[in-house]
Chains A and B, each alone.
Chain A
């Protein structure tokens, strides 16, 4: 497990850059994680998505399905991917401090 300075804190991350301790997440951590997912700066639209994902995870223990994310945020699929080029599962969830999602072969 590696360590990376995010938001001014040295945090443990996995091989794909997902933080291991959700309690350490804050806006500064999110901003630095965003840079690793092709998002130079988190705009109000980005935060709308990130905050929803985070609130959903805290309540349900999992990431929201992509359609639910669209409905809640008001963004179409294409707009979600424009905001988060690496996708909602990898990009947005990582920035929101969630654990790494299920991968596939």
Chain B
């Protein structure tokens, strides 16, 4: 597993480096950032949406079903005390020609993605301040 490196840029903006990939994460203008990139909460939900997408793509490739152009839309609600993501809604849109009778199987695939599984069995999280 690669190291995920999060380096401060300015204000509330950070560069996230994962292998040869980089992206900027920032707070919104309302939350005191510059909106220079997605918020951590948005990335969290995006990880679920994209994990679902990848699992569905793999399933469709194996089953020789159409999936090109598929979309996964995700939205979330925040809860307070403590502040957290309270609910996530996911809409999956398959291309024309995807058989109706495979929808239930598709949902099972989506609900078995690693991120979905992780949310249902939260991992141990260990945080330390190091020198």
Contact = CB atoms under 8 A, between A and B. Distances in A.
Do chains A and B interact in one complex?
yes
Interface of A: 16, 63, 65-67, 70, 76-78, 80-81, 87-90, 101-105
Given A67-B87, A70-B89, A105 B27 contact: yes
Chain B: interface size category: 20 to 34
Contact of B91 (A65, A77, A90): A77
Contacts, number: 55
Contacts of B80: 102
Interface of B: 12, 27-28, 30-32, 39-41, 71, 73-80, 83, 86-87, 89, 91, 93
Contacts of A76: 73, 91, 93
A63 B40 CA distance: 23
Contact of B83 (A16, A77, A88, A104): A104
